[in-house]
Amino acid sequence: MVNGDDQAGERRTDEVLRALAEPRRRAILRVVASEELPAGRIAEHFDVTRSAVSQHLQVLKDAGLVAERRDGTKRLYRARGDGLARLRSLLDQMWDDSLDLARRLAESDAGEPPGEEASA
């Protein structure tokens, strides 16, 4: 059974994956990964309206991937280093599991997955 914290973490991971599924959002995340910028400067990198970039930024912010800071009347955006932590943990676990399975398959005599017998 999955507890409440695990369910919340799964929902957060799903939200991050949905946010990153859109190529332009991934590109925006790369733009703000090294520099804090206002939406207008971010929009200069793309052939879309500032409003469209603002909507993408809101999705990224809701997913915890981008932080927003106010400086007077400006809103500045930057990537959050910890925003991808849960996703990275999930991918690391999947990678470790895959490597473990590959090791077990390589070590088995018949090359069959553990628990399966080769057909005669």
The pTM of this model reads 0.71
Token pair of 77 as six digits = 């955006």
Residue 104 pLDDT > 60? yes
Q: 49: domain range?
A: 4-107
Residue 48 lies in a domain: yes
pLDDT digits (tens, 9 = 90+) for 5-63: 677 667 888 888 899 999 999 999 999 999 999 999 999 999 999 999 999 999 999 99
- Determine how many CB atoms are found less than 10 A away from the CB of residue 54: 15
More confident residue, 111 or 44: 44
Token pair of 44 as six digits = 């200069």
Strand segments, DSSP code E, in the chain are 37-38, 66-71, 74-79
Residue 119 lies in a domain: no
Domain of 100: which CATH number?
Answer: 1.10.10.10
Q: Which residues have C-beta within 8 Å of that of residue 113, sequence separation ≥ 6?
A: 101, 104, 105
Residue 114 lies in a domain: no
Residue 40 lies in a domain: yes
Q: Which of 82, 87, 16, 28 is nearest to 55 (CA)?
A: 28
- Which letter does DSSP use for residue 1 in this model? -
Token pair of 63 as six digits = 């997913």
Cβ proximity of 66 and 79 under 8 Å:
yes
In total, how many domains does the chain have?
1
Cβ proximity of 21 and 32 under 8 Å:
no
37-38, strands of its sheet edge to edge: 37-38, 74-79, 66-71
Residue 115 lies in a domain: no
